[in-house]
Structure 1
Amino acid sequence: MAEITAAAVKELREKSGAGMMDCKKALTETNGDIEAASDWLRSKGLAAAAKKSSRTAAEGLVGVAVAGTKGVAVEVNSQTDFVAKNEIFQGFVREVTGVALEQGIADVEALKAASITGGTIEDVLVANIATIGENQVLRRAKKVEVTNGAVIPYVHNAAAPGLGKIGVLVALESDAGVDVLEPLGKQIAMHIAAAFPLALSIEDLDPEVVEREAAILREKNADKIVGKSEEVAAKILNGPVEKFKKENALLTQALVMDGKTPVGDVIAQAGKDAGASIKLVDYVRFQLGEGIEKEESDFAAEVAATAAAAG
């Protein structure tokens, strides 16, 4: 029997898009012949994942899970919303989220290599692509943790417990009890889901994002500084930029529930009432498909092409 090398497995994997263990098995079955192994994978429906992997995946599910003072959020994408209702897909996202939490993994590549029922996460993902018939992508993961306090989860538009279209985690560092932290965290998490902050604080905002917005605001307000002194012009131009920063940093955003109280003040008041300091140290907000450019499809053209192929 021919020796099955790692290089051969890698080559077949790149050629077919199938999982590592499936490629190794295919090579074993075909005595190391790459082409025969590729055909073997196709005959088993496993190489179909290669073609499907080129399709845009912007639907799917966000999974969140919490254990004590730790929490994780994971996003797994699919091509259509229909797959998000599939029990196989939901079970996969739930298991991946559980592994990420248990092992404290936030790096996507490391998470793909972790083991779950049926092989590594990446192997099972590829097998699911072939089984379900759509491209699926493990897109991102993030973990949060506090030394003392609580991590509070929230799922908006939940498809199942811990799974939905928007997943939020709020990490509160405090000696206060869960009876204080959980309702506060839930309130803040719901705010985050609705308000979409860009960073925890003004200092944490991406300088490039701020500068890009500043350039737009300066252009929009250019006519207002004509004939003004340099000092007045600076105030006119800087005002909207400072407002942008305040409205996009979580701690300075007005709580959506009342539209006026800064989130930072809500936390400070809750700590004062509880007689314990409460600090919001981190948060996660994963919105399904955020930042993915979806393909525009022409349904009529697809039908026509299918009919032509069939004829």
Structure 2
Amino acid sequence: MAISASQVMELRRKTNAGMMDCKKALTEAEGDLDLAEEILRKKGIAKAGKKADRVAAEGTINAAVSADGKTAVLVEVSCETDFVAKNDNFQNFASEITQLALDCDGADNNVEAFLASQHPSGDSIEEVVKAKIAEVGENIVIRNVARFQTSEAGSLTSYLHMGGKVGVLVELVGDSVAVIDNDAVRTLAKDITLHIAAINPQGIAREDIPAEEVEKERAILADSDEVKSKPEQIRDKIVDGKINKFFAQICLLEQGFVKDPDTTVGKLVETTGKAAGGSLTVKRFVRFAVGG
């Protein structure tokens, strides 16, 4: 039977065994997670009461950008306690991991592929993490990895908030190199990362919001006492208006800019692009929050 990546990651989380060992055990157990764990324990690969069972709810988020500015990463490394999270040993390890992710093509939003990649020591990143767990005495998890690469007419900007408790990475793309190579555009990019850190949008535009989520919100609004108290012939228009407000709350381009709520982020992007001699687009962003 086919073993999914999510099954492998769940068994790895429970046992701290290597991914190939987990996949072999799951294949032998025909996908039975408990039986696969038992197989690993019998082989001495997994131990009861291991540190990997413990919740890693603290940690840090780091960012790194390549020398040419065209590749950037955001990495969340988690541990169990705030004490370890603030320790130089852990912070240095998180910085090392982030630099390795910057050079790893497989790290593009794929923790599993990154863990399987090779550390300069010759071991896998996963094995290096295991060694650090044994050293510090706490569970350590590389929880999230995002790696962006952009074009010549693109820019990548990162921001770390609250000492690495929140991290943001944004890609802006202009219709020419001249547009993106502009001081006002660079300032805008930094401002957008600050906005995302503070407001936490769920998508760039309306099309990024899952249709089922919109329909669920529409159904809730339609069934609300406020709407049902209105004449039936105007209820749909009232719901449409409320859905527009819903989008304005969660879509980046429709949100009021955090530094000037009277101006939307979309309008700010448009006017800044025009002032720079062309057009500007927010292509993508990612936001990590420790333990989130």
Sort the TM-score into its range (normalised by shorter chain). 0.7 to 0.9
- Cα offset, 1:15, TM superposition: 10
TM-score, normalised via structure 1 length: 0.73
Q: Distance in 2 between matches of 1:268 and 1:14?
A: 45
Q: Secondary structure at the match of 1:116?
A: coil
Task: For residues 40-88 of structure 1, give each alpha carbon's deviation from its aligned partner in whole angstroms, at most 9, with x where no partner exists.
Answer: x9xxxxx889611111111111121122122111111111122211222
1:282 counterpart residue number = 284
- Cα offset, 1:149, TM superposition: 2.4
Q: Distance in 1 between matches of 2:125 and 2:97?
A: 7
Q: Distance in 1 between matches of 2:156 and 2:274?
A: 20
1:83 counterpart residue number = 84
TM-score, normalised via structure 2 length: 0.77
Identity, in percent, stands at 40
1:135 counterpart residue number = 139
- Cα offset, 1:37, TM superposition: 9.1
Alpha carbons of structure 1 residues 254 and 223: separation in structure 2 relative to 1, 3 Å: closer
2:149 counterpart residue number = 145
- Cα offset, 1:146, TM superposition: 2.1
Structure 1 unaligned runs (5+)? 1-12, 21-33, 42-46, 159-163, 291-311
Alpha carbons of structure 1 residues 49 and 265: separation in structure 2 relative to 1, 3 Å: farther
Alpha carbons of structure 1 residues 82 and 279: separation in structure 2 relative to 1, 3 Å: same
Q: Distance in 2 between matches of 1:199 and 1:15?
A: 32
Runs of 4+ in 1 over 4 A off after TM superposition: 13-16, 34-38, 47-50
Q: Distance in 2 between matches of 1:49 and 1:98?
A: 33
Alpha carbons of structure 1 residues 115 and 137: separation in structure 2 relative to 1, 3 Å: same
Task: For residues 243-289 of structure 1, give each alpha carbon's deviation from its aligned partner in whole angstroms, at most 9, with x where no partner exists.
Answer: 11122011111101011211111011111211132211111111111
Equivalent residues, number = 251
1:9 counterpart residue number = none
Q: Distance in 2 between matches of 1:15 and 1:243?
A: 42
User: Are the equivalent residues in 2 in contact too, given 1:77–1:138 (CA < 8 A)?
Assistant: yes
- Read off the aligned partner of 2:83 and give its amino acid letter: F
2:97 counterpart residue number = 96
* 2:219 is equivalent to residue 203 of structure 1: no
Q: Distance in 1 between matches of 2:43 and 2:199?
A: 51
User: Are the equivalent residues in 2 in contact too, given 1:53–1:135 (CA < 8 A)?
Assistant: yes
* 2:231 is equivalent to residue 228 of structure 1: yes
> Which protein has the larger Cα radius of gyration, Structure 1 or Structure 2?
1
1:305 counterpart residue number = none
